[in-house]
Amino acid sequence: MRSVRAYRALTRVYPSRFRRDYGAAMTQAFADRARVDGSRAAWRVALRDLAVSAPREHREVLVRASMQTKLVVAAIATTVAIVAFAAVGGALFALALMLLLAWELTAILRARGHSSTSVRWWKLSIAGVALFALLFVVFAMPWPEEWRSSVDGEIAWFVGMFGFSASIVLVVLGAMLGLAGWVGRRHEQPAA
């Protein structure tokens, strides 16, 4: 009985609609197999099926999703990759991913109907520059040694990396929105 509850909990990795449609039947099939073939055989089949079918079902959900949902998923995946590469020291790759994230955020805003004028692209760029300047002042100041030793170096490094990364994304996002607005205005002007 505990195996069936564990399997039912494991089906949470499937998309919610798939789970609603097939979750009860899958749990019943697992319980029947466990009763006939034993719990070990049932788990072997269930885990093999899970490894193959769960990614396929998530891919199907993503294929049917709207463009805005796809952009949000891509932005989340890019953010996770930025954090992962920044944590292991892949700063150049993380920087390239930040540019990709800025493009994805621009596309999300445009998909939601925001034009570059409604977003005020220059405010994003100024906010990025201000954040960068603030962090630069905080990290470059000649603080007294007792203050420096009271702050954990790893925490300071992660705060600085996150802050500087966010400032770069804000500046690039603002610049991309400004450029998109400029190009849009150029195309709206009648040819002479």
Tell me the per-residue pLDDT of 48-104, one tens digit each, with 9 for 90 and over. 888 888 888 888 877 787 777 777 777 888 878 877 777 777 767 777 777 777 777
Say which residue the tokens 């990290």 belong to: 139
Q: Flag whether pLDDT at 115 surpasses 70.
A: no
- From residue 2, give the alpha-carbon distance in Å to each of 20, 32, 43: 21, 14, 12
Contact 116, 178 (CB under 8 A): yes
Q: Flag whether pLDDT at 171 surpasses 80.
A: yes
Long-range contacts of 168-171 (CB under 8 A, 24+ apart): 168/95, 168/98, 168/128, 168/132, 169/98, 169/101, 169/102, 169/105, 169/128, 170/124, 170/125, 170/127, 170/128, 170/131, 171/124, 171/125, 171/128, 171/129, 171/132
DSSP letters spanning 29-41 = HHHHHHHHH-HHH
Contact 131, 169 (CB under 8 A): no
Tell me the per-residue pLDDT of 6-42, one tens digit each, with 9 for 90 and over. 888 888 888 888 888 888 898 898 888 888 888 888 8
Q: Flag whether pLDDT at 118 surpasses 60.
A: no
Q: Which amino acid is at 127?
A: A
Tell me the per-residue pLDDT of 155-166, one tens digit each, with 9 for 90 and over. 888 788 888 888
Between CA 158 and CA 152 the distance in angstroms is 10
Q: What pLDDT is recorded for position 189?
A: 64
What is the value of pTM for the model shown?
Answer: 0.44
